[in-house]
Amino acid sequence: MPYFAGANSGSYDVQWNTTPGYYDAPWARDDYYGDTTPYYRVITATRHRSDQALGAWVCKYGEATYQTCGFIVDKDYAYHDTATWIRVHRDNADLSSDGDSGAPWYSGGTAYGIHTGAPPQNTNDSFYMAINYITIFGITVLKG
């Protein structure tokens, strides 16, 4: 997909690619490791960073770890010297691996954010950029 714009500093770790010749759909992939039948969850809403609650259950589907889920444990995780990142934890679960970057974080049909990586102090956890930060490009999430 051709690169259009990107931001990787402060509160941002996001890239926008265009999709010529493809149908853009309002969904996130939601199957489990080893499942050969993919399931697509329709995204119908977004959740602003300020409305994401500590303790909320969120999931992502990444290319390396497939679907993983956990609890929001920190809304002020510092990355790029900015404490706006959302950290997710689940006991005995590896929530992030190389190749997961850019994966969608969601709960039900609500988009929460875009996967960034694993904190160096706990590499089983994950952290993500809240979805409302994509407005840096003047865009919003496609909803079904």
Q: Express each pLDDT in 17-39 by its tens digit.
A: 999 999 999 988 777 656 677 78
Question: Quick check: is 53 in a domain?
Answer: yes
Question: Quick check: is 142 in a domain?
Answer: no
- What are the distances in angstroms from CA 11 to CA 45, 62, 66, 84, 101? 21, 21, 25, 6, 15
CA dihedral 132, 112, 54, 100 (to 10 degrees): -120
Domain that holds residue 42: 3-137
R_g of the chain computed on alpha carbons: 14
Question: Quick check: is 42 in a domain?
Answer: yes
The rounded distance, in Å, linking the Cα atoms of 6 and 30 is 26
Question: Quick check: is 54 in a domain?
Answer: yes
Q: Express each pLDDT in 38-51 by its tens digit.
A: 788 899 999 999 99
Question: Quick check: is 143 in a domain?
Answer: no
CATH code of the domain covering residue 45: 2.40.10.10
% of the chain with per-residue pLDDT over 70: 97
Residue 94: its pLDDT value, please? 95
First to last CA, the chain: 22
- Number of domains, the chain: 1
Q: Express each pLDDT in 8-17 by its tens digit.
A: 999 999 999 9
Task: Give the pLDDT band (50/70/90) at residue 116.
Answer: very high
Angle at 25 between CA 40 and CA 63, to 5 degrees: 55
**Amino acid making up residue 59:** C
Residue 66: its pLDDT value, please? 86
Question: Quick check: is 49 in a domain?
Answer: yes
DSSP string, 12-48: EEEEEE--TTS---SEEE---TT-SS--EEEP-EE--
